[in-house]
Amino acid sequence: MTDNKTSKEQKYDRQLRLWGDHGQETLENAHVCLINATATGTEILKNLVLPGIGVFTLVDGHKVSGEDVGNNFFLTSSSIGKNRAQAATELLQELNSDVSGNFVEESPDKLLDNSPEFFHRFSLVIGVQLPESTYLRLGSVLWEAGVPFLICRTYGLIGYMRLIVKEHTVVESHPDNALEDLRLDQPFTELKHHVESYDLDNMEKKDHSHTPWIIVVAKYLEKWYSEHNSQLPKNYKEKEAFRKLIREGILTNENGTPEDEENFEEAIKNVNTALNPTKVPSATEDIFNAEQCENITSQSPSFWVIAHGVRDFVRNEGNGKLPVRGTIPDMIADSDKFIKLQNVYRDKAMKDAAVVSKHVEALLQSVGKPPESTSEQEIKLFCKNAAFLRVVRCRSLAEEYSADTFNKDEITSCMDSTDSEMVLYLMLRSVDRFYQQHSRYPGVYNYQVEEDINKLKLCVNSLLQEYSLNVNVKDDYIHEFCRYGAAEPHTVAAFLGGSAAQEAIKIITHQFVPFNNTFLYNAMSQTSATFQL
């Protein structure tokens, strides 16, 4: 068992550095359904099997064709004629013995006819190269069941992804440039006492230059307050003056030249961010005000239960502030002083989290759930990330397709520039319309390309008309899409396979923020865009 754990740690070392062991654990507990083992499909699955998802189920009613073998690494000529789900599963399994793979030799339409609840069991369903009618049906089943759905499509030199998830909560969004949570503007009692235990004016030189910069800033802030009506330095000028005040505190030698005190330099450098007023970020505020946070029931996911607990904390014990994060940056200081300071923050964070726990417990009790339904660890992680919480809500496919609710503004404003990636979206909708009418995609047979161009043009026009879109789709795109003949070139599939698996991992681990909700890639120009449709 421990052996297995160590070998996994070794195998997954490079990715544990991105999402941690708890992210890995969620990944290993996930069950992903992938529909259609085309080149794009198997590339996505490959990129999920390698990092070690728990289980996958491949759904595919097709038989392996010669064309499949030509662009799909996980199908060989010996598998021609076999069921595609089975053939691909065999080879994909070889990639990672820790992953278990299942296959269902049936088309998604059949499954939807016979037992739509088949799809309820998955952590995520990825539909690849599906006809419009199928993904619309499947989309509504999964929307009702609350199962996230990722549609992926390689169409010639175009890549397309659409994420459909009613509500996706992210505790660890891993923001870039997160500010530290130091509370220097509103120090908590323990921090105040700790700062008081320092007396910069009566200190050995060595101790003076090994005092953490946080203490230095706190000390000079007191001094500043006494001279400035207890107001923080706000604008640039005041901050400069404050920096000067700190600089004056640097010890000088016999000759009056300042000593080299790196901790003071650090303090000066950090003034700007350290004095950032402590407040609840608006995204977190929105979460507190959300209906899901307001009305906790026994069915509420733990994210909302804890969010409510944190909100109670902010509105009561926290006096309008989030629980203390409890971490401080590395700084110049001796170990002893650093650890003491670190412990002040850490202890306060633990105390705050414990108060949140009490609120959560009471809340759970009030809706008749046992207190152990959320773990201590979960609450701590939540408190630590309280400033970075995110909720992603995608629009449903029904909303995107309905003439009443489609996002007309986004489409028209993007189409002001005729080469916006939005035109690719309109073209994909048009080829779907073509398929609906002709039961095949345009340009799949070389001899029909010319006449298909006219037919596709009609589809484009009828689409624009139906949605009353007054936009210009250049003929070039219509020709281009006919020329694609719905082919699935491997290198585009490989690109999309990487991108889609990346989003799938975000959804599964609830770490990092997934795109919302449509992604388009143009392999010719190597450009991409995301739209909210």
Binding to other proteins (CB under 8 A): which residues in 210-269? 210, 259-260
Nearer to other proteins, 148 or 156 (CB): 156
Nearer to other proteins, 417 or 527 (CB): 527
Q: How far apart are CA 380 and CA 302, in angstroms?
A: 13
Nearer to other proteins, 284 or 509 (CB): 509
Q: Does the protein bind other proteins through residue 329 (CB under 8 A)? A: yes
Neighbours of 416 (CB within 10 A): 10
Subset of 505-524 contacting other proteins (CB under 8 A) = 505, 511-513, 515, 519, 521, 523-524
Q: Which two tokens stand for residue 423?
A: 């035109």
Is the CB of residue 40 less than 8 Å from the CB of residue 153?
yes
Subset of 154-173 contacting other proteins (CB under 8 A) = 156-157, 172
DSSP state of 529: E
Q: Does the protein bind other proteins through residue 23 (CB under 8 A)? A: yes
Of the listed pieces 126-134, 291-299, 325-333, 429-437, which binds other proteins according to CB under 8 A? 325-333
Subset of 431-470 contacting other proteins (CB under 8 A) = none
Nearer to other proteins, 117 or 262 (CB): 262
Q: Tell how strand 124-128 and strand 31-35 pair up.
A: parallel
Q: How far apart are CA 461 and CA 284, in angstroms?
A: 44
DSSP state of 63: B
Nearer to other proteins, 17 or 237 (CB): 17
DSSP state of 32: E
Of the listed pieces 2-10, 127-135, 280-288, 395-403, which binds other proteins according to CB under 8 A? 2-10
Q: Does the protein bind other proteins through residue 477 (CB under 8 A)? A: no
Nearer to other proteins, 12 or 135 (CB): 12
Subset of 338-377 contacting other proteins (CB under 8 A) = 338-339
Nearer to other proteins, 23 or 233 (CB): 23
Q: Tell how strand 124-128 and strand 149-155 pair up.
A: parallel
Of the listed pieces 64-72, 109-117, 280-288, 395-403, which binds other proteins according to CB under 8 A? 64-72
Site string for other proteins, 275-314 (x = CB under 8 A): ----------------------------------------
Amino acid letter for position 465: Q
Q: Does the protein bind other proteins through residue 472 (CB under 8 A)? A: no
Q: Does the protein bind other proteins through residue 3 (CB under 8 A)? A: no
Neighbours of 528 (CB within 10 A): 15
Reported in sequence order, the residue ranges of 332-470 that DSSP labels E, i.e. its strands, are 390-392
**Count of residues engaged in binding other proteins, rule: CB under 8 A:** 90
Q: Which two tokens stand for residue 187?
A: 């120090």
Say whether the peptide bond before residue 517 is cis (omega within 30 degrees of 0).
Answer: yes
Task: Give the residue, chosen from 29, 327, 417, 437, that forms a contact with other proteins under the rule CB under 8 A.
Answer: 327
Subset of 79-108 contacting other proteins (CB under 8 A) = 91, 94-97
Nearer to other proteins, 145 or 354 (CB): 354
Neighbours of 468 (CB within 10 A): 8
Q: Is 421 left (phi over 0), alpha (psi -120 to 50) or beta?
A: alpha
- Minimum CB separation of residue 63 from other proteins in Å reads 17
Q: Does the protein bind other proteins through residue 484 (CB under 8 A)? A: yes
DSSP string, 110-128: HHHHH-GGGGGG-SEEEEE
Q: How far apart are CA 397 and CA 407, in angstroms?
A: 12
Of the listed pieces 111-119, 348-356, 460-468, 486-494, which binds other proteins according to CB under 8 A? 486-494
Nearer to other proteins, 140 or 418 (CB): 418
Distances 295 to 192, 298, 363, 414, 438 between C-alpha atoms, Å: 37, 10, 11, 38, 49
Task: Give the residue, chosen from 28, 31, 50, 438, that forms a contact with other proteins under the rule CB under 8 A.
Answer: 50
Task: Give the residue, chosen from 29, 70, 285, 474, that forms a contact with other proteins under the rule CB under 8 A.
Answer: 70
Q: Does the protein bind other proteins through residue 488 (CB under 8 A)? A: yes
Nearer to other proteins, 108 or 485 (CB): 485
- Output the 3-class SS for 214-258: HHHHHHHHHHHHHHCCCCCCCCHHHHHHHHHHHHHCCCECCCCCE
Nearer to other proteins, 314 or 331 (CB): 331
- Tokens 């026009």 correspond to what residue? 461
How many C-alpha atoms does 383 have within 13 Å on its Cβ side?
A: 32
Number of residues in the chain: 533
What is the dihedral angle through the alpha carbons of 200, 202, 206, 208, rounded to the nearest 10 degrees? 10
Q: Does the protein bind other proteins through residue 72 (CB under 8 A)? A: yes
- Minimum CB separation of residue 365 from other proteins in Å reads 27
